[in-house]
Structure 1
Amino acid sequence: MEVIIRPGDTLSYFSSLFRLPLNLIVDSNPNINPDKLNAADKIQLPGYVKVPYTIIEGDNLWKIADAKNLTVDTLLLLNQNKEEDQLKVGENIFVPEKMVTPFITSKSPCDYKSLVKLINNFKRVYPFIAVNTIGSSVLGNPIQEIKIGKGAKKIHMNASFHANEWITTIVLMSLVNKYLLSLTNGALMNGIQAIHLYNEVELSIVPMVNPDGVDLVLNGPRSNLRDHVMEINEGSDDFIHWKANINGIDLNNQFPANWDICKENKQKKAPAPRDFPGDAPLTEPEAIAMVDLAKNNSFDFVIAFHTQGEEFYWGYEGFEPSESENLAKEFERVSGYHAIRYVNSHAGYKDWFIQEFKRPGFTLELGKGINPLPLSQFPQILKCAEGIFIAALNY
């Protein structure tokens, strides 16, 4: 919510007036010197939106403020061109409204267009977050990263490596939405002050690694791609179980962690809806973007959200550090999921991260059933994932 600074205003005063942590206001205004505010400058206040209110007979600012549990000065700040004796029946003023409900719901799947809209809403209402483009998909869709927090500990989470696992995007974005609401409403997350997590952790989120594949599963192919993807799909126009990117390459088999063994073990030797690792590691722009992201940041650990199995994998070829086991035990405790150290699998993002950096990496297999999992599972999946999300931030 944008407001105009008046003579004598300070960010500390706004923090008290709107019951917001001061550092969230500071981080929402990176181009403003908090010690040298200038009258008429515009600043952003996170967690609020301006809503119109129509004046009725008998209204005054004090009466409106009391009815909406606000202070009069919040109304004066938002309506600096209005005087008390100038209020006229039928005209509109602006009233600040604190966001207390999430943007995202589980009522429908989230394709790439819906994700972009959601990210834009997050950025508008919670301007202390950063949104970066880390690369592009085969079809040129920007792959976006959300960053939250200013702490020394750096954690990365991602979702929708696999197209038919699109529910992971909704789960991860729902967790982010709850975190943002907790920050601006002074709420606890599993008994922990959200602002404490914000101050301790820099959280990196890539909510949709494979936007082209997700859109194919949810919306079908673009007309100019129909012949191409139907050929990969053995002539079928049913793409519900498609797992790969738009080139028919499994993005989670694209990483240089014993890729040659992965290639040998896979039955698919050409582009396919699933399980083809490509003709070499890191041929696909989505995989390259994820490698560059890890190399350009010093993540303490990473978590990749997948489906299904109600289990997670945390080791790779003995490269995992000792702290991985402690994290795995905690994730197992809070989620009820089964922790598995080793599986006969190579060339995954988690595998490569552990091998490359000797730091913890996890692949979560949310829910249980046949992919794509139905939205009816969302509440239970979210509950289990939330325990891991908060345990990761608080570790």
Structure 2
Amino acid sequence: MFIKSLWTLVIIFSSVPSLSLANEVNPKVMYTYDALTEDLDKLSEQYPNLLTYKSLTTTTFGRKIWAIKLGNGKTSILMHGAHHAREWMTSALLMRMLDRYLEAYEKNQTIEGFNPKILDKVSIWFVPMVNPDGVTLQQFGLHAFPAYTHGTLIDMNEGSRDFARWKANIHGIDLNRQYPANWENLKGVNSKPSYQFFKGTMPLDAEEVKALVAFTREINPEIAASYHSSGNVIFWGYHQWGLTHTTRFTDDYYTIAEKIADITDYELEEPAFHQQGGGFTDWFVEEFEKPGFTVEIGTLIEDNSLPLVDFPSIWERNKAIGLFLAEKAWQKNAK
């Protein structure tokens, strides 16, 4: 496992956070943008031949959206997390995945029977924190942002100074309702900027989503997985209802979806006939006609982040998924 810095986290103690080093996520710590950035720097120094990274964009308040390339293959897959601010446990999960794959590669170890040497053929691109400003607001509240923003943020939070429920980006846009897949017909959305459910004034309105879309088109991944945090369910497909075994694309897609469900023991949700759209997976499947998945990693939690006591079991369920998807991407590419 990577040195202690991978879990340089913030101890939750009353209302005053303090920094501490820890070897793994546990119920007393949370994973922050600053910890992620520090860990990324150190990982890149330790594994210069396997890991490179770049910034997709800089947010309104100066945070980078990091894209991390693991491996040297021309074929690629994409995994990303924390579209929603309170779902930052997905960032911790993806960073641990990245760390363990590097360690296993160097030590010639397997993970649940999957060989990380697949990284010689397939690169895994991680974007572990799509919404770093929103995450920071959810974790630290108003004091992490300039005073001139406080009134607007409180208004978008329906008058509350408690930001534990915050999902949106710093401008009150729900990033996973921003993608151009039936965006104009989305239902159940707020009509103005809010802590959740505001889809924006147009698709790709948010800088974070615009950057991720451009990056996805740039790398053209064979498979994409969008990590979210509550529901213990896997969503797949977009308007594939009734088509599961009618084309090679949908047949292969369904087979991969079933295997992810088998590995993780999450419920596999069948695509509904009338899917809303607006999310990354909807857009990816529609535009690329390649397998895309939304993985909800934990028990359904209303208006808060997942309890950190759940992380060890979530890790056990998900630790092999990146390598499994890399193998599937290589098989698809070889056909």
- Shorter-normalised TM-score: what interval? 0.7 to 0.9
Which residue, out of 354, 379, 383, partners 2:285?
354
What pairs with 1:173-212 in structure 2 (closer than 5 Å)? 173-194=95-116, 196-212=117-133
Question: 1:252 deviation in Å?
Answer: 0.3
Aligned length: 295
Per the TM alignment, residue 277 of structure 1 is displaced from its structure 2 partner at its CA by 0.3
- Aligned pair partner of 1:291 in 195, 198, 213: 213
Q: Does 1:329 align with 2:291?
A: no
Match of 2:138 among 187, 193, 217: 217
Divergent runs of 4+, >4 A: 99-102
Q: Secondary structure at the match of 1:394?
A: helix
Distance 1:142 1:267, change over 3 A: closer
- Which of 105-114 and 290-299 deviates more? 105-114
Cα RMSD, aligned residues only:
1.8
* Structure 2 residue identity aligned to 1:367: G
Structure having the higher Rg: 1
**1:100 CA drift (Å):** 7.4
Q: Distance in 2 between matches of 1:212 and 1:153?
A: 31
Higher RCO, Cα 8 Å, sep 6+: 2
- Which of the residues 315, 321, 327 maps onto 1:382? 315
Q: Which deviations, in whole Å up to 9, do the C-alpha atoms of 1:208-233 show, x marking residues without a partner?
A: 00000000000112142211201111
State the percentage of identical aligned residues: 31
* CA shift digits 1:280-333 (9 cap, x unpaired): 111110000110011111200100110111111111013964321011011011
Q: Any conservation in 2 of the 1:253–1:347 contact (CA below 8 Å)?
A: yes
Does the C-alpha gap of structure 1 residues 321 and 140 become closer, same or farther in structure 2, counting only changes over 3 Å? farther
Letter in 1 for 2:318: A
2:297 maps to which of 366, 375, 386: 366
Render the CA deviation track for 1:189-208: whole Å, top value 9, x for unaligned.
Answer: 222332x2111211100010
Shift of residue 102, structure 1, vs aligned partner: 7.8
- CA drift of 1:126 comes to 1.2
Unaligned stretches of 5+ residues in structure 2? 8-23, 244-248, 329-335
- Paired with 2:318 and 2:115, the residues of 1 have a C-alpha distance of 19
One-letter amino acid of the counterpart of residue 98, structure 2? V
State how 1:126-165 maps to structure 2 within 5 Å. Answer: 126-128=47-49, 129-165=51-87
Cα distance in 2 for partners of 1:360, 1:136 equals 29
Quote the Cα distance in structure 2 between the aligned partners of 1:150 and 1:354: 25
Alignment of 1:278-317 (within 5 A): 278-317=200-239
Q: Displacement, 1:140?
A: 3.0
* Counterpart residue type for residue 206 of structure 2: E
Relative to structure 1, the CA distance from residue 146 to residue 268 in structure 2 (aligned partners, 3 Å threshold; closer, same or farther) is: same
Quote the offset at 1:394 in angstroms: 2.4
Q: Which residue pairs with 1:9 in the alignment?
A: none
In the TM superposition, residue 101 of structure 1 has moved relative to its aligned partner by 7.3
Match of 2:21 in 1: none
